[in-house]
Structure 1
Amino acid sequence: MFLEASYLQLIGEAFEGLYFLLFHYRLKPSDIQLLEKHFPYYSTLKPQHQREFRKKLEMIVSQKKFIPRGGMKEVSMEMKLMIGASIVQVTFGFWKVFLSHFKKILIYPDTYYSTISKQYHRGEVNPRFGMIVLSWSCFVDGFVDNQDGVNLGVHEVAHALKLENQIHYNQESNFLHPGIWRDFLKHSELEKEQIRIGTDDFFRERGSVDEDEFFAVALENFFERPEEFKLRKKELYHLLVQLLRQDPITLKSA
């Protein structure tokens, strides 16, 4: 029985590999121009890191299923590239992490109503169905001011990253160092309390809800305003550098 299961798994992996080779998306010059113009993280990378970024982005776009919702007729390549780039950005320190559990990305044109929570949402992550859900208008808003520490794409991908680390079936788990994660959680308790009582205005109020929200808000600031983050929260910043295995400051070209 075990041999049969292993054999079927090998066949499945072979078909997945063949599918990827046949339908692997290759970035066009216009795609690269889009990234250079509209995705600040990519445009400020050193040339060698830009090449690595593009290669991983091609794999992300090829692997994910982008699904229009809420009256949206289709998902454009621009949408796929920008959302895929957000996944690459957050996972850039982990070459073999593609958030494989989250195979579907649902995109609404604007905020959407959830029949489960009975509330309007900007975005969410659903591990049960392997989905990341985004409002496109809110996603785009995150790039209007790329230094305000508010970016929906980074926020939702951060949630997915934390969940992916805990999912064991797809060989993408336990990539976040447990000791560094524990240290991060210790610091987050103090930061959340400072947000609640109003003694620190660096992180927005959403970060005080729980450890998941603080992690997502912290990553928004880590990527959007790393210099200020490092200046004001040096120890916490270095913990994230170690945890995510990347430093947005040193990755930038001169």
Structure 2
Amino acid sequence: MTISFSTLLLQVDPPASDFTDVLFMVVLSVMLIVLSAMSGRVNMGFQVPGFPRPLSASRKKILLKRFPYYVNLSENKRRRFEQKVQYFIHVKEFIPRQIPVVTEEMKVLIAACAVQLTFGYPKIFLSHFKRILVYPDNYYSTINKTYHKGEVNPRMQAIVLSWKAFVEGYIDQEDGRNLGLHEMAHALRLENLILNAEYNFLDAEVLESWQRLADEEMINIANGQSSMFRDYAGTDPDEFFSVAIENFFERPEKFKGLMPNLYGILVLLLKQDPLNSN
């Protein structure tokens, strides 16, 4: 982002009554330039020294060991991925529930999951959702009196995850079930509708095409004729989207082979293709 300023014409000996005003404008101009550079460069995916710090070697080690999506990226894309992970951790509050602390591994992998989904959008960090709540296992919801593995709560600005279910989603990467991606997909759709700096980032025409094809497939699910998605995808359009996202990343070849049009729309919508990650 570039900010242009009018030239400040300073007299050699400004009147005393004007000196404070001139000084204030100079200081304000410098501050705006610095803040603009910091905001613009972070949002565009470039590293700003000290804001936040580059991803540490220990965090990179976690990604290399635990996150195949990152491992399969080119070196240049890995650097971009690392910057987004670091920034996500930097701006979110990770809150332990029924566990002593949210560990470094938890933070890195949950952030990586969010970045995996939003990697095609350098400026998108799901900014409305400021809190990540982590439970050790399924947890009881006092709102609807049932146990959950995860949920997205826009009123509380929170994404809630069972760590056990999150890990299980990445252990088997070919079953089309991934709790982290499922909940982040819910957050993504909501973020697109919330009036903030990230509002309406998804292309409206592509979304319209997506919904038309999704409605057709939901009818197939209701009739027991879907060859790709589990029955839960037919619950409503939001659940269909989240289940589709799980399959998009975990079973892209099958997805593209059976539903090339729906798969192609997701490629356009997310601005990435799991079958061509390099």
What TM-score results when the alignment is normalised by the length of structure 1? Answer: 0.89
Query: Which residue of structure 2 lines up, in the alignment, with residue 86 of structure 1?
Result: 113
Query: Which residue of structure 2 lines up, in the alignment, with residue 175 of structure 1?
Result: 201
Q: Deviations over 1:71-92 (max 9, x none)?
A: 2010000000000001101001
Q: Does the Cα contact within 8 Å between 1:99 and 1:161 map onto a contact in 2?
A: yes
- 1:19-98 correspondence to structure 2 within 5 Å: 24-69=52-97, 71-98=98-125
Q: Does the Cα contact within 8 Å between 1:196 and 1:208 map onto a contact in 2?
A: yes
Q: Which of 171, 189, 194 is the aligned partner of 1:162?
A: 189
Q: Match of 1:108, as an amino acid?
A: Y
Q: Which moved more, 1:42-51 or 1:205-214?
A: 42-51
Q: Match of 2:59, as an amino acid?
A: D
Q: Does the Cα contact within 8 Å between 1:112 and 1:121 map onto a contact in 2?
A: yes
Q: Does 1:234 align with 2:256?
A: no
Q: Deviations over 1:131-161 (max 9, x none)?
A: 0000000000101110111000000000000
Following superposition, the deviation at residue 21 of structure 1 comes to 7.3
Following superposition, the deviation at residue 202 of structure 1 comes to 1.1
Following superposition, the deviation at residue 194 of structure 1 comes to 1.4
Q: Percent identity?
A: 49
Q: Match of 1:65, as an amino acid?
A: E
Q: Does 1:185 align with 2:203?
A: no
Q: Does the Cα contact within 8 Å between 1:25 and 1:61 map onto a contact in 2?
A: no
Query: Which residue of structure 1 lines up, in the alignment, with residue 146 of structure 2?
Result: 119
SS of residue matched to 2:193? coil
SS of residue matched to 2:143? coil
SS of residue matched to 1:165? helix
Q: Distance in 2 between matches of 1:151 and 1:27?
A: 25
Q: Does the Cα contact within 8 Å between 1:25 and 1:62 map onto a contact in 2?
A: no
Q: Which runs of no fewer than 5 residues in structure 1 stay unpaired?
A: 1-6
Following superposition, the deviation at residue 24 of structure 1 comes to 2.5
* Residues 33 and 22 of structure 1: CA distance in aligned 2, closer, same or farther (over 3 Å): closer
Larger radius of gyration: 2
Q: Distance in 1 between matches of 2:266 and 2:199?
A: 18
Query: Which residue of structure 1 lines up, in the alignment, with residue 175 of structure 2?
Result: 148
Q: How many corresponding residue pairs?
A: 238
Q: Distance in 2 between matches of 1:36 and 1:206?
A: 32
Q: Deviations over 1:76-122 (max 9, x none)?
A: 00000000001101001110000010000000000000000111000
Query: Which residue of structure 1 lines up, in the alignment, with residue 166 of structure 2?
Result: 139
Q: Does the Cα contact within 8 Å between 2:132 and 2:159 map onto a contact in 1?
A: yes
Q: Match of 1:225, as an amino acid?
A: R
Query: Which residue of structure 2 lines up, in the alignment, with residue 220 of structure 1?
Result: 246
SS of residue matched to 1:143? helix
Q: Match of 1:164, as an amino acid?
A: E
Q: Match of 1:172, as an amino acid?
A: E
Q: Does the Cα contact within 8 Å between 1:132 and 1:160 map onto a contact in 2?
A: yes
Q: Does the Cα contact within 8 Å between 2:227 and 2:258 map onto a contact in 1?
A: no
Q: Match of 1:58, as an amino acid?
A: Q
SS of residue matched to 1:157? helix
Q: Deviations over 1:191-219 (max 9, x none)?
A: 11212222123111111000000000000
SS of residue matched to 2:170? coil
SS of residue matched to 1:150? coil
Q: Distance in 1 between matches of 2:254 and 2:206?
A: 22
Q: Does the Cα contact within 8 Å between 2:96 and 2:134 map onto a contact in 1?
A: yes
